[in-house]
Amino acid sequence: MKISLSKNARVVLEKRYLKKDDSGNAIESPENMFQRVARSVADADRLLDPDADVKKTQTKFQKLLSNLWFLPNSPTMMNAGRRLGQLAACFVLPIEDSMESIFETVKHTAMIHKSGGGTGFSFSKIRPAKDVVLSTAGISSGPLSFMTVFDIATETVKQGGTRRGANMGVLRVDHPDIEAFIETKNDLTRLNNFNISVGLTKQFMEALETKSDFNLINPRTNKTSQRVSARKIFDMIVRSAWKTGEPGIIFIDKINDDNPTKQIGDIEATNPCGEQPLLPYESCTLGSINLSRMVTKNSLNMKRMKNAVHDAVHFLDNVIEMNRYPLPQIETMSKANRKIGLGVMGFADLLLKLGISYDSEEAVSQGASLMEFISHESKNASALLAEKRGNFKNYPGSIYDTPETPYMRNAATTTIAPTGTISIIAGVSSGIEPVFSIVQTRRVLDGEVLYDVHPLFVKMAKAEKFFNKRLIDKIAGGGTLSKIDEIPEHIQKLFKTSHDISPEWHVKIQAAFQKYTDSAVSKTVNLPAEATEKEVEEIYLAAYRLGCKGVTIYRDGSRDKQVLTVGAGSKDTKDKPTIAPRPRPLRTHGMTERIQTGCGKLYVTINSDAKGMCEVFAQMGKTGGCASSQIEAAGRLASLALRSGVNVDAIIRQLTGIRCPSPAWQNGKMVLSCPDAMARVLKNLTNSEVTENTVLMGGCPECGSVLSHEEGCLNCHACGFSKCS
């Protein structure tokens, strides 16, 4: 069966998901991949249902995947039926207030990252900085110092050869070190492998409402260390989030109100994007219904959606059984609770097909009714499975309003998780986010710019006879349809993108889905650059009032501008920041590589100082005059950029693809010019590692396209890169 996939989807699959040989060439097709996943996951029936028709289950799963009605999280698609076999996306690990616990968790974190998973932690049990250490009569360094240890460990572990580790660090708002925690990521060089969130309690929110002080509690003694103003702490959170997008906030008591296994313990942390609260040593298996494919003949196909939900619950419960867990403790806890996270993607596309504007009460109502249906049917599906396979081990009795049943296979069934790369494969909008862009710009190696235009916009524009190439250029230049005269007003209203939608509607949509979601909802409230701190405050209070379990905001350009503020600048914030290159030290160290160009052999030298690469020299033995001066100029400008903090990957992208009339071949690859040769040497030296500065500056470190801040993370819609995976 040939699967209908976009060209971009096939590129992402080949780059990230398909089996490869030792040379990195794909040795399976997308069709083969879906067959591999369906076959592997269906095999769980042999273990769980002695009378099951495994072949029938495989056919059912393959239809579910091949029609793009449902896709599981990336680890399942990558690893099902393969040697690694680690199929879960997210984990939470415990951290107690002892060196033994902390460094045992560091070890376990490395093992999880190596297998391709992301990790969440609460650092709230660690005694505060400068507290007493009885065993040594010394003083403690506090949770932030240990977060740095986890960050460095993450940096050194490459996940499964394709993914870097992602972490969530949570600190309760009543921890004595909360002020330092809130501001820690205002320094953009710190904790680059962490998202951080403050765990806000009911007591804190009540103190904020009554303009009162509240207690900071030393976790070692469980006694009050001091009383502080709730408003002061809240203002710090708002200010830091306005500056950098972090910390996020989670409403930890609201999360525990909905904890389905309260008898096991309290939930203290979430996975890296915040949508999956988990007990210590729990993992969760995630997957998403493609809502766009649930629309047929301009209306919702409820029969198809019901079948997709039931098949997806069966699929995800099987994944729990087939997963090769990185730690025995995780296997024990995951199988005892059997949490699954069925969510959605393509919500914005569904609205477009139904003619509903994202920022409308009709969209809010549609989101709530969709998720209510999915929640209800996923519970029914879980109950039916439990009748055959048994309840989850820690089942405490009838804990769900619907259905009233003594059976339940899974402690939780629903989560709205990020769908960054799987939504690209499905060709739809991410999760419950608005459409990111009507026109997606893509750059290829020779510098040509290609446009991917939203297919529903193309269809409607052609139907209403206003589609043309000049219009697409105009949309790509402005990034939005608003104020383009030739586009009818009703089309402009329908095709609003993330930044066209006011924050209140972002929160309303999130709350509508949260109402019927067991776990939490991954979403970003996007704000324009000119948004105020007061607007951030209003978003946080609205999220709490409407019953969300957390919220993440991102003000356009906030982190990007921070990176550029280097060196001495004016105190007047209206002035442009000044970028000053660091001075060249007396001694550097480096290497020289010879590379063949059309003009002759070029010798490229790359030198580094204590902070990294700082110089690029290039020399050609038999040339002079203009060619020599241009080579020197390119080297000087690259050196200046390196010493000014510009990421090396950005320099590589600028130099790559520059052509001269005389290209040459080396090692089977064409060298287009001397600058292109210099880029190749830089790339060979760095191996094109993804670095934080590239991500912060708003460009994808893999393809150079614009990154979107959505679903609690940084994602690239062009190539599937995600900073959180």
- Cβ count near 669 (within 10 Å): 9
Place of tokens 């599906």: 381
For residues 587 and 368, give the distance between their C-alpha atoms in angstroms, rounded to a whole number.
Answer: 64
CB of 91 closer than 8 Å to CB of 112: yes
End-to-end CA distance of the chain: give it in Å, rounded.
30
Peptide bond into 143 cis (omega under 30): no
For residues 446 and 660, give the distance between their C-alpha atoms in angstroms, rounded to a whole number.
Answer: 12
DSSP string, 367-431: HHHHHHHHHHHHHHHHHHHHHHH---TT--S---SSS--S--S-S--B-B---HHHHHHHTS--T
Distance (Å) of CA 260 to CA 272, 279, 317, 393, 544: 21, 11, 17, 13, 21
Catalytic residue numbers, as ranges = 271, 273, 275
Distance (Å) of CA 114 to CA 162, 333, 686: 10, 20, 21
Q: Which amino acid is at 288?
A: S
- Cβ count near 665 (within 10 Å): 10
**For 223, phi and psi rounded to 5 degrees?**
-115, 155
DSSP string, 316-349: HHHHHHH---SSHHHHHHHHHH--EEEEEE-HHH
For residues 670 and 580, give the distance between their C-alpha atoms in angstroms, rounded to a whole number.
Answer: 36
Q: Bridge partners of 610?
A: none
For residues 636 and 644, give the distance between their C-alpha atoms in angstroms, rounded to a whole number.
Answer: 12
DSSP state of 184: G
Record the tokens describing residue 336, joined without a space.
């005892």
Rounded to 5°, angle at Cα 480 from 474 and 484: 55
CB of 438 closer than 8 Å to CB of 453: yes
Closest by CA position to 269, among listed 278, 257, 256: 278
Q: In terms of DSSP H, where are the helices of 415-486?
A: 420-426, 455-463, 469-478
For residues 78 and 594, give the distance between their C-alpha atoms in angstroms, rounded to a whole number.
Answer: 38
Q: Is 227 helix (H, G, I), strand (E, B) or coil?
A: strand
Distance (Å) of CA 677 to CA 447, 496, 615, 645: 16, 43, 15, 22
Q: Is 22 helix (H, G, I), strand (E, B) or coil?
A: coil
